[in-house]
A and B are shown apart, each in its own frame.
Chain A
Amino acid sequence: MTEPGPIPPETEPTPPESEEAAPSVAARLAFLQRAGGITTPIATAILAFLIAGLVVLATGHDPLQTYKAIFNGSGLNWFFPWVSGVERQTAAFNLQETGLLVIPLILTGLAVAFAFRCGLFNIGGQGQYIVGIVTGTQVAVWFHSLPGPVHIFLAVTAATLAGAFWAGIAGLLRATVGAHEVISTIMLNWIAIWVGSYLIGFGGPFQDSSQVGVPVSRPIPGNTHLPVFWGSPLLQGLDIGFFIALGMLVLYSLVLRRTTLGFEVRAVGFNPDAAQNSGIGVARNYFLAMAISGGFAGLAGALDILGWQFRLDVTTIQISSQLAFTGIAVALLGRNTALGTFFAAVLFAALINGTSTRNLDPTVFPPELAGNLTRIIQGLVVLFVGADVLVLYVWNLRRKLRLRRVAPPAAAVPSE
Chain B
Amino acid sequence: MPDATPVLELRGITKRFPGVLANDAVDFDLRRGEIHALLGENGAGKSTLMNILYGLYRADSGEILLNGKQVSFSSAKDAIGAGIGMVHQHFMLIPVMTVAENVVLGTEPVRGAVFLDERGAEARVRELSHRFGLAVDPDARVEKITVGQQQRVEILKALYRRADILILDEPTAVLTPQEATDLFGILRTLTQEGISVIFISHKLNEVLEIADRITVLRRGKVVETVPSAGATQESLARAMVGREVLLRVEKGPPSPGEPLLAVEDLHAVDDRGLRALHGVTFEVRAGEIVGIAGIDGNGQTELIEVLVGLRRATSGRVVVEGEDVTGAGPRELIDAGVGHIPEDRHRRGLVLDFSLAENLSLHDYRKPPESRFGWLWPRRILARARNLIREFDIRGGVPQTRAAALSGGNQQKVVIAREIAANPRTLVAAQPTRGLDVGAIEYVHRRLVEGRDAGKAVLLVSLELDEIRSLSDRILVMYEGGLVGAYGPEAGEEELGLAMTGGRPAEEVSA
Docked Cα-Cα span, A263 to B358, in Å, equals: 8
Docked Cα-Cα span, A168 to B396, in Å, equals: 42
Assess whether A270 is in contact with B365, with CB atoms less than 8 Å apart.
Answer: no
Query: Beta-carbon contacts of A343-376 to B below 8 Å, as 1s and 0s?
Result: 0000000000000000000000000000000000
Assess whether A263 is in contact with B365, with CB atoms less than 8 Å apart.
Answer: yes
Q: Which residue of A lies closest to B241 (CB)?
A: A9
Assess whether B347 is in contact with A274, with CB atoms less than 8 Å apart.
Answer: yes
Docked Cα-Cα span, A384 to B366, in Å, equals: 39
Asked if A271 lies at the interface with its beta carbon under 8 angstroms from chain B, I say yes
Number of interface residues of B (CB under 8 A): 66
Asked if B310 lies at the interface with its beta carbon under 8 angstroms from chain A, I say yes
Q: With A14-B407, A410-B60 known to touch, is A274 a contact of B362 (CB < 8 Å)?
A: yes
Query: Beta-carbon contacts of A149-165 to B below 8 Å, as 1s and 0s?
Result: 00000000000000000
The interface residues of chain B lying within 8 Å CB-to-CB of A258 are: 375-376, 378
The interface residues of chain A lying within 8 Å CB-to-CB of B331 are: 278-280
Asked if A413 lies at the interface with its beta carbon under 8 angstroms from chain B, I say yes
Q: Which residue of B lies closest to A267 (CB)?
A: B351
Assess whether B340 is in contact with A277, with CB atoms less than 8 Å apart.
Answer: yes
Query: Beta-carbon contacts of B39-73 to A below 8 Å, as 1s and 0s?
Result: 00111100000000000001111110000001010
Of the listed stretches A16-24, A106-114, A125-133, A223-231, chain B binds A16-24
Asked if B409 lies at the interface with its beta carbon under 8 angstroms from chain A, I say yes
Q: Which residue of B lies closest to A33 (CB)?
A: B353
Q: With A11-B395, A267-B362 known to touch, is A260 a contact of B374 (CB < 8 Å)?
A: yes
Of the listed stretches B154-162, B223-231, B397-405, chain A binds B397-405
Q: For B17, give its contact among A2, A15, A17, A409 (CB under 8 Å).
A: A15
Asked if B248 lies at the interface with its beta carbon under 8 angstroms from chain A, I say no
Asked if B219 lies at the interface with its beta carbon under 8 angstroms from chain A, I say yes
The interface residues of chain B lying within 8 Å CB-to-CB of A271 are: 347, 350-353
The interface residues of chain B lying within 8 Å CB-to-CB of A263 are: 358, 365, 376
Docked Cα-Cα span, A267 to B395, in Å, equals: 23
Number of interface residues of A (CB under 8 A): 45
- How many pairs, one residue from A and one from B, have CB atoms within 8 Å of each other in the complex? 146
Assess whether A17 is in contact with B346, with CB atoms less than 8 Å apart.
Answer: yes
Asked if A176 lies at the interface with its beta carbon under 8 angstroms from chain B, I say no
The interface residues of chain A lying within 8 Å CB-to-CB of B362 are: 267, 274-275, 278
Assess whether A277 is in contact with B342, with CB atoms less than 8 Å apart.
Answer: yes
Q: Which residue of A lies closest to B243 (CB)?
A: A9
Q: With A27-B353, A259-B374 known to touch, is A410 a contact of B20 (CB < 8 Å)?
A: no
Docked Cα-Cα span, A411 to B13, in Å, equals: 12
Q: For B19, give its contact among A9, A13, A275, A413 (CB under 8 Å).
A: A13
Assess whether B407 is in contact with A12, with CB atoms less than 8 Å apart.
Answer: yes
* Distance to closest chain A CB from B162 (angstroms): 25
Assess whether B70 is in contact with A270, with CB atoms less than 8 Å apart.
Answer: no
Interface centre among A8, A275, A279, A411 (most CB of B within 10 A): A279
Top 5 closest pairs, chain A to chain B, by CB: A279-B331, A14-B43, A11-B396, A279-B330, A11-B395
A-B contact pairs, 9 of them (CB 8 A): A10-B409, A19-B346, A27-B352, A257-B378, A259-B376, A261-B374, A277-B308, A409-B60, A410-B61
A contact residues vs B (CB 8 Å cutoff): 1-3, 7-17, 19-21, 27, 30-31, 257-263, 266-267, 270-271, 273-280, 407, 409-411, 413, 415
